[in-house]
Each structure stands twice: as C-alpha cells, then as structure tokens.
Structure 1
C-alpha cells in the first residue's frame, strides 16, 4: 500500500469516527467559553496579586498551575471522548488535576528553554545582528510548533514522564510527518478561511477569544469552536491510529479501518 492509499484509508476511518463522536459529544464546543471565563478570572487574580509585593513572586507559579489545570481539563475530556465515546460533568470536574503535573513539567521545560535563549543565546546573537536575532527567534517558534505538534495527544494518550513525553512527541512527528501534517494542514487551512484565525499555540484549548459582540462576531466564534472541537477530536483519533500501527500493519489489517 503506497502513501496515498494509506492517507485515504486512515483519514476515511478517522473522519467517520470523529463525526460520530463529535455529534454525540457536541457539548465540548462550550468548553471554550468556560475556559475564557476562567482566564478572565485568572487575570483578575493576577492583577490583585501584583499589587502585593510579597505575593508577586508566587504569581508566576500560580499562573503556571492554573494554565496547566485548564489544559489538563481539556485533554482529559478529549481522552474520555476518544477512549469511552462520552464525556460527563464528573469528567469535567476531575479533569483539572488528571494531567496537571505532567503538563506543568512540560511547560517548565519550555520555560527553561525559552529562558536560556532569551538570557544567554539571544543577547549574543542580538549583539551581532538584531534582525538575525528576530529571525532566529521566529524560526525557533515555528520549529517548536512543528516538531512538538503532537504534544497534546502524547500527553493524554501515552503514559510517560514530562521529559519522555516531549521526546515521544518529537519521535512521533519524525516517523509520521506526512500522515500527520497533511490532514492537519488541510483542517487548519479551512479553519483560517472560516474564522480568519491562525492557531499558533501547541496547547490551544479554544478557537480564540470572542472579539466582537455583534451577531457576525458571535456566529464566527461559535463556528470556530465547532471546527476547533472537531479538529481536536480528529487529531486524537488520528494520533491513536498512527501511534499504534505502521503502514504495513494498516495495509494488512485495512478491513479494520473501513
């Protein structure tokens, strides 16, 4: 079975499963609104903490933990949908802590790498050329988005430590880059055409903010949330197929992917 046949086989199976699961669990569309409210609350708390010098030190830690909890919640809901075909209120309540420290560890690794570049490597490059430093920073951000693209799925579908999860996500993309990015690029392209938004965050948990209270703005936000939720379920199913099989195995067992 060649690569084109494999792409058609895998994505036909994935889109069928995704459609059924999305229609059964459409309520996940509204999680974006909930996370928006939680983020607003978090910003209010952070602004209050910054008025107290003693608590400023802890504001970054609190922000990291709160962000990790919201990401954990969304990934857990995706896991329940993909593994068990349903999501409940109890899942939503439990989700904030399931992957909390695993995600916190991954974010800390990202923060440490960013700190190293900004404080040591970046200034050295900037001293040679400011434009070069900006370009390298952009290239690094793009590489992170590409090489770590499957990080969310690696977190909730694989049982590894934070560091090993990062390594696994990289290996997965390296081994499945065609099968993974072809459908992802198509879906994100459609998302951009409909909403005008570009998803640049590996850990995005919603389609974005509601920037306009107009009818058009609200409709675009809802459309964005519907598409985003569908895409994330699609990614989860696609990841499950690709991470548990090879092209040869799929060719041999293609009757299972009908």
Structure 2
C-alpha cells in the first residue's frame, strides 16, 4: 500500500512540475480563452433566432474553439518554446472534425434516449444516470483526440473507455480533491452530479463546460475560505482562465504519464528513486 501511495504522489509531482513549465510557455492560452469566450457569446446571440440552423452554427463554432484550445494545449505540452499569437491563429481548424465527429456520434443516441424516456416515469433519472456514466467513461476524450492516433470517433470513445478502466483511481483522484469544498456544501453532491451530467452530454468537448468546471471549483474554495461574495466574484473572473488552462495542462501531462506506464512500472520507478 505504501508503495502505491508513494508512486501516486511521484506521479502527481511530475505532472505538476510539467504543468507549471507548460503554463509558463503557454500563458497566451489564457488570453485566447477570453477571446474565444467572447466569440462564443456573440455566436450564441446570433444563433438564437435562427432555430435549427442556429443550433448547427453554434455547434460548429463550439467545435472550432474547442479544437483550437486542444491544439494550443498540445503545443504547450509538446513544444519547448513559448507560444505566440501566431500559434493561436494557426490553431483554428485543428481537431475540428474530431470534435464534430464525437459530438455527432453522441448526439444521435442521446436524442433517442431523450425521446424514449419522455413518457417513462423514471425517464429523468435514467437520462441523468446515462449522462453521468458518459462523463466518467469518456472523461479523457479531449486528451485522446490530441495525444493518441485514432481512426474514427468510435476509436476515441473506445480508447477513453479503456484508459478509464485501467487508470480510474489516478485519473479521478485530483478532481475529487478539488471538489471537496463543493461536496461539503449544502446540496453539494447534487451539484457535483449536475456538473457531471452536463459535461457528459458533450464528452468534455463543450467550450462552455471547459470554463464552468474551474469556475465552480474556484467558487467552492473561495466560499470555503470565507471570502466575501462581493470580492469572490472579481476573483472568479480573474482566476477562471488560468485555472482552466492549468487544469487542461495537468490533465494532458497526467494522461501522457499514465498512458506511458503501468502501475507496476510506476511502483518500480518509485522504489528505484528511493533507493538512489
């Protein structure tokens, strides 16, 4: 047991160190997130009166922005240089079809589920449970898209599922720790499951949800620390972009570390490190 704990601590230590290095190189991603958020807000206003066509427009812009974010995160993780404004512009169009493909594959069965449960008295609970399950099993889908060679959206889902089964404890422990203040708050568990169900609908590939999770986590910690609500609002606006980027970078590095080793290898490496 002690070996597992030591190996896990070393794993997170490596991921945090790499995350800080990538954050320094990729600070411009925080600025890009703010710009992307404004683009999505304007698109939402324009798409509102357009009905179904507006929905397709909003989905396309979401895929464009999420793909750009994944590209920037990939570059910050992989490149040994500081990202520039040129990298932000060059990121548009990257992973667009990957995001669209996964969203489309999910959209059809979720639409069927929603229609099939409308007359079922347990329909809302069933839909809720399916979305939470999707959140868990497809949680690493963003990292699979830009780190793993895949041939189709179904391949992305299969790889995500297999990764979660193999590394569920190490993958979900950091987010569980971050969610502690929310879980301890009144109706906290319900809020966590609500967040999970909304994120599960898009398999983590919804631009709005990329910001909602860090925003909610920061709000929970500020409330837990007793920060006045008037001050916490400004802190939330200031800290959400860097928090969102840091979480994406940490996930990327953690995914790479977990994909490149097994639990046995990490325990052996930890024993070797202590022996030195």
**TM-score, normalized by length of structure 1?**
0.82
| TM-aligned CA deviation for residue 144 of structure 1 | 1.3
| TM-aligned CA deviation for residue 40 of structure 1 | 1.6
* Matching of residue 74 in structure 1 with residue 69 in structure 2: yes
| TM-aligned CA deviation for residue 147 of structure 1 | 1.2
* Matching of residue 107 in structure 1 with residue 103 in structure 2: yes
Distance 1:76 1:191, change over 3 A: farther
| Structure 2 spans left out of the alignment, 5+ residues | 216-229
More displaced 10-residue stretch of structure 1: 175-184 or 59-68: 59-68
| TM-aligned CA deviation for residue 83 of structure 1 | 0.7
- Structure 1 equivalent of residue 155 of structure 2: 164
* Native 8 Å contact 1:152 1:203 kept in 2: yes
Within 2, Cα distance between the matches of 1:215 and 1:30?
Answer: 22
Distance 1:31 1:189, change over 3 A: farther
- Structure 2 equivalent of residue 53 of structure 1: none
- Structure 1 equivalent of residue 46 of structure 2: 45
More displaced 10-residue stretch of structure 1: 167-176 or 26-35: 26-35
Give the SS at the match of 1:207.
helix
Within 2, Cα distance between the matches of 1:118 and 1:4?
Answer: 42
Distance 1:158 1:77, change over 3 A: same
Q: Deviations over 1:156-185 (max 9, x none)?
A: 111212110011111101110011111222
Within 1, Cα distance between the matches of 2:48 and 2:168?
Answer: 42
| Structure 1 spans left out of the alignment, 5+ residues | 51-55
Q: Deviations over 1:196-230 (max 9, x none)?
A: 99654223544248xxxx76423222122222221
- Structure 2 equivalent of residue 141 of structure 1: 131
Within 1, Cα distance between the matches of 2:161 and 2:41?
Answer: 33
* Native 8 Å contact 1:187 1:231 kept in 2: no
Structure 1 residue corresponding to 2:211, chosen from 207, 210, 219: 207
* Matching of residue 223 in structure 1 with residue 239 in structure 2: yes
RMSD over equivalenced CA pairs, Å: 2.8
